Amino acid sequence: MYITGARFPGRYVQAPGLISRLGAQAETLGKHALVILDRNLADVLRGPLEEGVKPLSAVISVHGGECSEQEITRNVEEGRAKGVDMIIGVGGGKALDTAKSVAFRLGGLPCVIVPTIAASDAPCSALAVVYKESDHSVDYDYFLPRNPDLVLVDTQIIAQAPSRFLAAGIGDALATWYEAESSRIADAPNCWGTHGSALAFEIARFCRDTIVEYGAEALRECDAGEAGPAFERVVEANILLSGAGFESGGVAGAHAIHHGLCELPDVHHHLHGEKVAIGVLATLLIHGNRDEYEKVRDYCLSVRLPTRLSDIGIVEVSDEKLQAVAQRACRPGEIMENEPITVTPDMVVAALRQLA
C-alpha cells in the first residue's frame, strides 16, 4: 500500500522565558518528573528549573555527557527507583536524545524536550543517536515509536548561546528542503517508511523560505543575546519546521555526505549542521546545478556557514580522504539512494574536489 503522511511532536511551544511555565505546560502529561539536565548548564539552569517545574515534583539527574547505553541505563534505573511518570530532557542533543530513549525504555512515559540551543532539528524527532562511551563513535540509531509529547523552547535561553549554534541549525535546516525535494522526485520513502504527504513538502519549503528571509538578521540578534522577531522565526524553522520537514519529507544526499565526512577525524570539532551545509553544496554540484550552487554558497556565506572543506577542518585534501567520505556516503542501502539519480563515489569525490 502506498501510504503518505507526516509526523510531529505532540505539542510545540516557544517564548522567551518559557522555562518559568514548564510545569504548567507539562502538568497534563504527568505529576512526578525525572529531569535529565545537560551538565554544561547544570549550574545556570538548576535554579530556574526547580522553580519553573512547579507544580510538578521533580528529581534532577545531571547528564553524564554522552548519549550512551550506560547513560540511558543509569537514568532508566534512577527513574524506576524514584517512580517517575514523565521524563523531561533539558539541554543539547545528547541530553535530549538520552531523555527520549529513557522515556521509551520506561514503557513509553510522556517525554518533554527543552532544547537550550537551536543547532539541529533533532529536538522534535522520534530519533535518538546512541554513541559508544569508549571512542564516542556512533553505536546505533534508535528509532522510537513516538515523537516527544511536548517540545518547550525558551528563546531567551537559546539567545544566550553562541551564535555559531544558531548558524549550524540553519545549515541543518537548509538541507531539509533539498532532501525532501530529492525524496519527492525520487519517490523515496522517509525514515519511517511512508512517503511524505503534501503538507510534509510544504513544511520543508516554508522552512527554507524562513531561513532565507530571516537567517542573517537572526544571527545579528543572537550576537546581541536578544530573542528578536527574526530570531524567533529562525528558531522555529531550525527546530520545528526542519524537524517535521526532514522526518516527514525524507533525507538524502546532504546527510549521506555528512555521514561520509564524519569518517574523517579532521571534522570532529565541527558541528552537525556545518557538515550538512557542505553536504548540500556538494549535492548541488553532483546534480550539475551550478546556478543553485552559487546561490546557496552565497547564502551560506551570509549566515556564517562553511562553503569550503577547509572551513570544516579538512585542510589537507587527499584522494584517500575523499574516497573514504564517498564510500561511506554511497554505502548500499544508504540515504544517498533517495537522490533521484544514481550517485557513485566518483561523483562525490569530484564534487568535493570542487569544494577544496
**Partners of 338 in the beta sheet?**
none
Catalytic residue among 255, 259, 270, 287: 255
To the nearest whole angstrom, how small is the minimum distance from the Cβ of residue 251 to Zn ion? Answer: 8
Return the number of the residue (61 or 120) whose C-beta is nearest Zn ion.
Answer: 120
**Residue 332, by phi and psi: left (phi above 0), alpha (psi -120 to 50) or beta?**
beta
To the nearest whole angstrom, how small is the minimum distance from the Cβ of residue 17 to Zn ion? Answer: 28
121 annotated binding-site participant: yes
To the nearest whole angstrom, how small is the minimum distance from the Cβ of residue 1 to Zn ion? Answer: 29
38 annotated binding-site participant: yes
Structural contact between residues 87 and 152, judged by C-beta atoms closer than 8 angstroms: no
Q: Is-catalytic flag, 269?
A: no
DSSP string, 261-316: HTTSGGGTTS-HHHHHHHHHHHHHHHTT-HHHHHHHHHHHHHTT---SGGGGT--S
Catalytic residue among 195, 259, 270, 272: 272
Q: Is-catalytic flag, 268?
A: no
Q: Determine the 3-state secondary structure of 53 from DSSP.
A: coil
Return the number of the residue (111 or 168) whose C-beta is nearest Zn ion.
Answer: 168
To the nearest whole angstrom, how small is the minimum distance from the Cβ of residue 334 to Zn ion? Answer: 15
Return the number of the residue (163 or 242) whose C-beta is nearest Zn ion.
Answer: 242
Return the number of the residue (58 or 191) whose C-beta is nearest Zn ion.
Answer: 191
Scored b (16 or more CB within 10 A) or e, 88-115 reads: bbbbbbbbbbbbbbbbbbbeebbbbbbb
Structural contact between residues 27 and 57, judged by C-beta atoms closer than 8 angstroms: no
272 annotated binding-site participant: yes
140 annotated binding-site participant: no
Distance CA 229, CA 267 (A): 33
266 annotated binding-site participant: no
Structural contact between residues 281 and 293, judged by C-beta atoms closer than 8 angstroms: yes
Distance CA 302, CA 342 (A): 32
Print the SS3 string covering 138-204. EEEEEECCCCCCEEEEEHHHHHHCCHHHHHHHHHHHHHHHHHHHHHHHHCCCCCCCCEECHHHHHHH
Structural contact between residues 150 and 103, judged by C-beta atoms closer than 8 angstroms: no
270 annotated binding-site participant: no
Return the number of the residue (60 or 262) whose C-beta is nearest Zn ion.
Answer: 262
To the nearest whole angstrom, how small is the minimum distance from the Cβ of residue 115 to Zn ion? Answer: 14
**Residue ranges binding Zn ion (CB under 5 A):** 172
Catalytic residue among 154, 172, 259, 287: 172
Rg of the Cα trace of the chain?
A: 20
Q: Is-catalytic flag, 272?
A: yes
Of 130, 95, 89, 93, give the one whose Cα is nearest residue 113. Answer: 89
Return the number of the residue (149 or 172) whose C-beta is nearest Zn ion.
Answer: 172
The residue sitting closest to Zn ion, measured at its beta carbon, is 172
159 annotated binding-site participant: no
To the nearest whole angstrom, how small is the minimum distance from the Cβ of residue 276 to Zn ion? Answer: 5
Distance CA 90, CA 157 (A): 11
Q: Is-catalytic flag, 258?
A: yes
Distance CA 95, CA 194 (A): 28
96 annotated binding-site participant: yes
Structural contact between residues 280 and 178, judged by C-beta atoms closer than 8 angstroms: yes
Return binding residues for glycerol. 121, 172, 255, 272
* Binding positions for NAD(+): 38, 93-97, 125, 127, 131
Which segments are annotated as binding site? Answer: 38, 93-97, 121, 125, 127, 131, 172, 255, 272
Q: Which residues are catalytic?
A: 172, 255, 258, 272
